[in-house]
A and B are shown apart, each in its own frame.
Chain A
């Protein structure tokens, strides 16, 4: 079945460091790809998305490019801040008639130290 694999962490970085969180997927069709972020005690917020190959999603300094050839959607940010500390989820949707929900990775806990 469809699946998403991402590093689970925790990933600990210093403020202003470069961030990469790897995400790869397995899908039988042509999915849309998403990164969601969950801050402590809150629901999930969409961070960015890409719906076709070579699309780049970006938001708040985060970027991810849909790479069909490597089935990847790695999340990057050039300079992280303490406020970026959260759990990050990579996810996909794949139409089985246009109705399926998101398939999530296990989440990556990111800790940014001042």
Chain B
């Protein structure tokens, strides 16, 4: 158990809909990262938040957005969903977001878009 929690574990929805994925980092960690894992694209970094502020964006679509709240939990919002958005979405946390810091991964949310 990494100490990172994600909800829900599974999500099934339809094209065009909007969903919210939630992540709680390990106690004491200030950085939260979001990743997408799909068969064709592999594991891709989406976005990084540090202590409530956006620090970096990776391959995140404009239909996707995220935020980190004062209690440090984070939400990833996916809108206008397409079939190709079906994937595993992982959240990871680290102490301070430095490049030598270990990122601890949650169990993931499996999103299925029908």
A interface, CB within 8 angstroms of B: 31-32, 34, 36, 42-46, 49, 51, 89, 93-107
In the assembled complex, B64 has its CB within 8 A of some CB on chain A: no
User: Is chain B's binding surface mostly helix, strand, loop or mixed?
Assistant: strand
Decide: B97 and A107 in contact? CB cutoff 8 A.
no
Q: A44-B90, A98-B98, A102-B43 are in contact. List 12 more A-B contacts (CB 8 A).
A: A43-B90, A44-B92, A93-B99, A94-B99, A98-B97, A99-B50, A99-B56, A101-B58, A102-B45, A104-B42, A105-B42, A107-B43
Q: What are 14 inter-chain pairs, A to B, with CB distance below 8 A?
A: A32-B100, A34-B102, A43-B4, A46-B103, A98-B55, A99-B55, A99-B56, A100-B48, A100-B56, A101-B56, A101-B58, A104-B42, A105-B42, A106-B42
| Complex CA–CA separation, A58 to B108 (angstroms) | 26
Decide: B105 and A44 in contact? CB cutoff 8 A.
yes
